[in-house]
Structures are given as structure tokens and as C-alpha cells.
């Protein structure tokens, strides 16, 4: 007869069942995410328990980094945590990622707080909210859990927040800057900024270097309000960003490259939007053909040069200053209408076997403007 245990209800359990039940009791006790607060009691090492009041945050924990301390955390290894609040209290808190990686859900850089990424990576599967200052000089900020995954979360810059990109790579699904005094601001002087959905700039995007890539189809109707400053440097179009959903002017200080072939990028059918080539130096307008609404060349110096045929639909072509070199290509209007303007002191160069751009109903040529035929005809 098998040995067993009889409960008060007369049910017999074997010793093996009892053992399984005991293990389950131990394993099934739920674990709860905790909130850990940085003290910096020892130094800047994130992984030291003494810097967290005894317990280092892990997994789904929330890491609070308050202001007013002497030491602030510097990440040099692989860290995973649920949420991070920089400047959770007080003022002047900071977090630095110098190497390694920080894998998190939400991250909040509160007012007067700073986040510095000088190497390594941040992988965020939640919202990245900026009310303080973020500086990326090298490394990666990727709004998903791994580099191989397309971003599925968002960067939000609230009024007064500033994001400075000097290098590295930022990849986000949606991007939002909010209007205010001062507005939420993104400054780009280098690196690559990658968009995968809606660009919602109601604050300021100021690109004086680097590249903005549009890699995912926008949702539509989400491009910036007319009050926003939108200045890019190099622009690469790999998917339709729906620029033409709002009547905006987008400055381009570097090269413009569209990689869309079928259908071509059509900016001429909806809102009365303008692309302004305003770089100080040579610029290339190329890749595959684009249908623009309005194009303005307003360069302090240098030449903007076509490297493929481009079109204008429902709008105008204006050379305010500098030089537009059509090279051996054309920038004609799709249908009759609109105005082609070359202002005083500006240059329009026509090359190849081409004639003057066609189907512009009005030609406005300033008395000191120059149209130069420098092709073979």
C-alpha cells in the first residue's frame, strides 16, 4: 500500500504531489515592480547598491534620479529597468550613457534635468518625454527594444524641452515638438534622425547639419502646423512623409534625395506647401523625380543643382538668391499656370539641349537677374 497523507476532507495526497505543491507555493508568489531612488552615496556607478539606498533597480522597477546631489549615474554596461525619471524631484539631476546600453520602457527628462548619450545605446519601448535637455554626441537612441525592430514608440519634446543631436542615430515612430514660449526644440548639427511614422513639429526643428531620413509611411494629416520652424539639412525620402498635408515651408540646407519610384513623391496635390533650398554652399536636388508644389531657391551663396528631372504642380518656381542650375535636366510645370521668378542678383542656369522651363504662365525676371544658357544648344 502506497504511503500518503490524508487531509481533513479524507483526500489522500502522495508525497510527490505534496512536493510539487510546495514548490508552486514558493514560485507562484508574485513579484512587484518597485521604485528605487538614486542617492549617489558612493560614486557614479549605476550597479552599486549603496548608490540606490541598498537595492539596484532591475526589470520593471522605476528608477528615480532626484536633483541636488553630488554624484550622478554614468552607465557603462548593460542595464535594464522599467522606467527612468531624471529630476524626479529638485533640480539639476543628470544621467549619462557613455557606453553599454540602457533598455527601458518610459523615460522622462524633467525640467532642469539632463540626459547625455556620448556612446552606447538607449532602447526605449515606451514614450521618451523631454522637458529638460537631451544631448546625443555619439551612439544610438532607438524607440524599440532592439536595433532590428522598427521603432514603435515616440519622442515628445514639451515646451521648454531641448534635444541636441551632434552625432549618432535617433530612430523614432512618431515625433512631436509642442508649441510654447519657448517651444519644444530639436537641434541637429550632425548624425542621422530617422522617422518611421508621423512628424508633428509644432515647436522648432533646426537642422544645420546631419541627415533626416523618412523611412516609414506617415499616417497623414500630421505634419507640422504653420507656426512651426522646420529646417532640415540633408533630406532622404524612403517613404511618403505626407509633407503636403499642411501649408508649411520646409527649409533644406543640404542635399535632397528621393528614393521613391512608384508612385513618385507628389507634393503638389494638397496643401500649398513649399520646399526652400537655403543652404550656404552647393546643394543637390536629386534621386528620383518629385512633383513639388512650390520651390524657392534662397541661398546666401553657392548653387543648387538638379541631378534628375523635377516637376512643379499647382505652384511656382522662385529663385530669390544664389543659383539654380538645372544642368541637363528640367523643372517644368505639369500644367499651364503659376509663375517662374528670378529675382535681382539671382541666377538660373539652363544646360544640355534644354530651353527655358515650360508651362509657367508668368515669367518675372528682375532687371539684374541672369538666365544663363550653358548647354550645347
Q: Look at residue 219 in the predicted model and tell me its pLDDT.
A: 87
Q: Look at residue 231 in the predicted model and tell me its pLDDT.
A: 97
CA-to-CA distance for 88 and 199, rounded, in angstroms?
A: 28
Q: Look at residue 297 in the predicted model and tell me its pLDDT.
A: 98
Cα of 171 vs its chain's centroid, Å: 6
Strands 62-65 and 83-86: parallel
Q: Find the helix or strand (DSSP H, E) in which 133 lies.
A: strand 133-136
Residue 18 has pLDDT above 60, yes or no: no
CA-to-CA distance for 273 and 23, rounded, in angstroms?
A: 66
377 pLDDT band (50/70/90 cuts)?
confident
Average pLDDT over residues 96-114: 97
Cβ-contact 44, 71 below 8 angstroms? yes
Average pLDDT over residues 282-308: 97
For 57-72, write each residue's pLDDT tens digit.
999 999 999 999 999 9
CA-to-CA distance for 218 and 26, rounded, in angstroms?
A: 49
Average pLDDT over residues 84-91: 97
Residue partners of 349: CB distance under 8 A and separation at least 6: 303, 323, 324, 325, 326, 327, 371, 372, 374
Average pLDDT over residues 113-134: 97
302 pLDDT band (50/70/90 cuts)?
very high
pTM of the predicted model as reported, rounded to 2 decimal places: 0.90
Q: Any idea which of 66-80, 180-194, 223-237 has the lowest mean pLDDT? A: 223-237
- Residue 44's CB is within 10 A of a number of other CB atoms, namely 19
Average pLDDT over residues 260-289: 94
Cβ-contact 73, 65 below 8 angstroms? yes
Residue partners of 178: CB distance under 8 A and separation at least 6: 156, 157, 158, 159, 184, 202, 203
Cβ-contact 58, 33 below 8 angstroms? no
Average pLDDT over residues 85-107: 97
Kindly give the residue spans of alpha helices, DSSP state H, lying in 290-369.
none
Residue 201 has pLDDT above 90, yes or no: yes
263 pLDDT band (50/70/90 cuts)?
confident
For 290-300, write each residue's pLDDT tens digit.
999 999 999 99
Average pLDDT over residues 317-325: 98
Q: Look at residue 270 in the predicted model and tell me its pLDDT.
A: 87
- Percent of the chain surpassing pLDDT 70: 90
- Percent of the chain surpassing pLDDT 90: 83
Cα of 38 vs its chain's centroid, Å: 30
Average model confidence (pLDDT) across the chain: 91
CA-to-CA distance for 201 and 223, rounded, in angstroms?
A: 7
221 pLDDT band (50/70/90 cuts)?
low
245 pLDDT band (50/70/90 cuts)?
confident
Residue 137 has pLDDT above 50, yes or no: yes
21 pLDDT band (50/70/90 cuts)?
very low
Average pLDDT over residues 212-231: 83
222 pLDDT band (50/70/90 cuts)?
low
Average pLDDT over residues 194-202: 95
Residue 268 has pLDDT above 50, yes or no: yes
CA-to-CA distance for 37 and 236, rounded, in angstroms?
A: 42
Amino acid at each position: 500500500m502506497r504511503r500518503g497523507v490524508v487531509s481533513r476532507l479524507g483526500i489522500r495526497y502522495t508525497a510527490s504531489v505534496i512536493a510539487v505543491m510546495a514548490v508552486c507555493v514558493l514560485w507562484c508568489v508574485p513579484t512587484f515592480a518597485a521604485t528605487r531612488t538614486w542617492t549617489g552615496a558612493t560614486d557614479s556607478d549605476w550597479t552599486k547598491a549603496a548608490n540606490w539606498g541598498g537595492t539596484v533597480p532591475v526589470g520593471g522597477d522605476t528608477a528615480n534620479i532626484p536633483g541636488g546631489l553630488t554624484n550622478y549615474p554614468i552607465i557603462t554596461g548593460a542595464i535594464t529597468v522599467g522606467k527612468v525619471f531624471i529630476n524626479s524631484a529638485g533640480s539639476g539631476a543628470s544621467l549619462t550613457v557613455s557606453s553599454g546600453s540602457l533598455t527601458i520602457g518610459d523615460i522622462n527628462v524633467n525640467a532642469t534635468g539632463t540626459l547625455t548619450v556620448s556612446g552606447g545605446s538607449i532602447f526605449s519601448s515606451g514614450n521618451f518625454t523631454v522637458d529638460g535637455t537631451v544631448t546625443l554626441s555619439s551612439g544610438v537612441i532607438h524607440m524599440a527594444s532592439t536595433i532590428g525592430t522598427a521603432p514603435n514608440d515616440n519622442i515628445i519634446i514639451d515646451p521648454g524641452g531641448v534635444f541636441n543631436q551632434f552625432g549618432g542615430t535617433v530612430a523614432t515612430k512618431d515625433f512631436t515638438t509642442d508649441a510654447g514660449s519657448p517651444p519644444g526644440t530639436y537641434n541637429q548639427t550632425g548624425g542621422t534622425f530617422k522617422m518611421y511614422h508621423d512628424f508633428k513639429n509644432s515647436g522648432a526643428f533646426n537642422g544645420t547639419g546631419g541627415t533626416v531620413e523618412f523611412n516609414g509611411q506617415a499616417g497623414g494629416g500630421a505634419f507640422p502646423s504653420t507656426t512651426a520652424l522646420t529646417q532640415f539639412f540633408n533630406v532622404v525620402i524612403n517613404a511618403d512623409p505626407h509633407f503636403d498635408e499642411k501649408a508649411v515651408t520646409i527649409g533644406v540646407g543640404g542635399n535632397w534625395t528621393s528614393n521613391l519610384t512608384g508612385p513618385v513623391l507628389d507634393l503638389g496635390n494638397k496643401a500649398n506647401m513649399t520646399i526652400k533650398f537655403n543652404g550656404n554652399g552647393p546643394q543637390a536636388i536629386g534621386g528620383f523625380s518629385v512633383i513639388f508644389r512650390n520651390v524657392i531657391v534662397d541661398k546666401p551663396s553657392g548653387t543648387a543643382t538638379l541631378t534628375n528631372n523635377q516637376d512643379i504642380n499647382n505652384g511656382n518656381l522662385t529663385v530669390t538668391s544664389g543659383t539654380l542650375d538645372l544642368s541637363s535636366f528640367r523643372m517644368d510645370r505639369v500644367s499651364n499656370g503659376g509663375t517662374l521668378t528670378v529675382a535681382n542678383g539671382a541666377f538660373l542656369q539652363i544646360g544640355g539641349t534644354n530651353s527655358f522651363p515650360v508651362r509657367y504662365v508668368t515669367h518675372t525676371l528682375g532687371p539684374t537677374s541672369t538666365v544663363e544658357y550653358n548647354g550645347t544648344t
